[in-house]
Amino acid sequence: MSSTQFDGDIDSFVSYLKSNRGLSANTLKAYRADLTACLHLFELRGVTDLNEITLDDLRSWMAVESRDHARSSMARKTVAVRGFFAWAYEHGLTTTDPAATLMTPSIPSTLPAVLTESQAEQLLDVAEHAVATNQYKDDGGAVAASGSGKEAGKTADKSADTVHRSEAPARADKRDNARVTAESQRNAAILELLYATGIRVAELVSMDIADIDFSTRTIKVTGKGNKQRVVPFGLPAQRALETWLEQGRPVLARTATDAVKSRAANALFLGARGGRIDQRIARDIVHRAAREAGVPDISPHALRHSAATHILDGGADLREVQEMLGHSSLKTTQRYTHVSIEQLKNRYGQAFPRA
């Protein structure tokens, strides 16, 4: 990221947002990058004072940025720049607010991509089957029990040297099988929890073990702006979580170094090296599971959309879904009613002879 002579002002603005708006770390990082890129452009044009920047300059900046960015990105960039100049004016850094009338690009209203209920069921069934298959392999399965009496006798006749040479690879294979089983248990728990609760992937990876209450079958979720909410989950998710915590998590935890282990001691989900799982890995898990299940490729956010739509289809109240998803505006939640209506139209068209 390029530095500018305005970095101090940007730092002050971001600190202000962090203290007063409760924005997430990801949002603050994005705003900082947007502002740095914007003011760096003006710096290249010879601007040395924020007071030199006009509305026309900002429109020119938008024209340049819009060549390489989607409207949704431009909307965020515009919000960041407009907020920065409003803050600068309020704090006496500028004599005017050139961004006061800067218009945010309109974003086309698109319906979220969702799985059907049968596709979601298929996705979770395949993940559950993977756990069962890997556990069978880890236990030795039929392979370990299939040796005949003659083969057993031959094995016993082998020299001690041959036995010692084969022990290390056997132990390594067993460790690998245990790790693969643990990862499949983790993946199944992640998919079940994402679909059961509709939480965001950022919320998922930040969860600690203590955030789960099995007695009430609820999780405590820390969402955008550090707002907390309590979300229920069902019996399938409970079973998957219990299997992961009792069997899979200890296996991956053992692979961690002491430093990593101490940082991830409370983490609900772990990566292959025993540290707290990150968003990239969680997304990969969902994409890979969709491919293996033969359902449309989806992201964790699309799984969130699917959960919300299916809950509404089941008769849940819109306000209840808003609370569950952590939406600050009911308007955001209402998008899922449109999805439900579109699906109803499609089913109507397929099933009704006079549609």
The residues assigned a catalytic role are 200, 224, 301, 304, 327, 336
For 153, other C-beta atoms within 10 Å of its C-beta total 10
- The pairing of strands 228-232 and 218-222 is antiparallel
For 15, other C-beta atoms within 10 Å of its C-beta total 11
> Would you mind telling me the total number of residues written for the chain in this entry?
355
Task: Evaluate the CA torsion angle 144, 148, 151, 152 in order and state its sign.
Answer: positive
HEC string of 94-132?
CCCCCCCCCCCCCCCCCCCCCCCHHHHHHHHHHHHHHHH
In the DSSP assignment, the letter for residue 213 is E
User: Strands, DSSP E only, in the chain?
Assistant: 212-213, 218-222, 228-232
User: Tokens 């890129």 label which residue?
Assistant: 37
**Runs of H (alpha helix) within 158-278:** 160-197, 201-205, 235-243, 249-253, 258-263
Amino acid identity of 342?
E
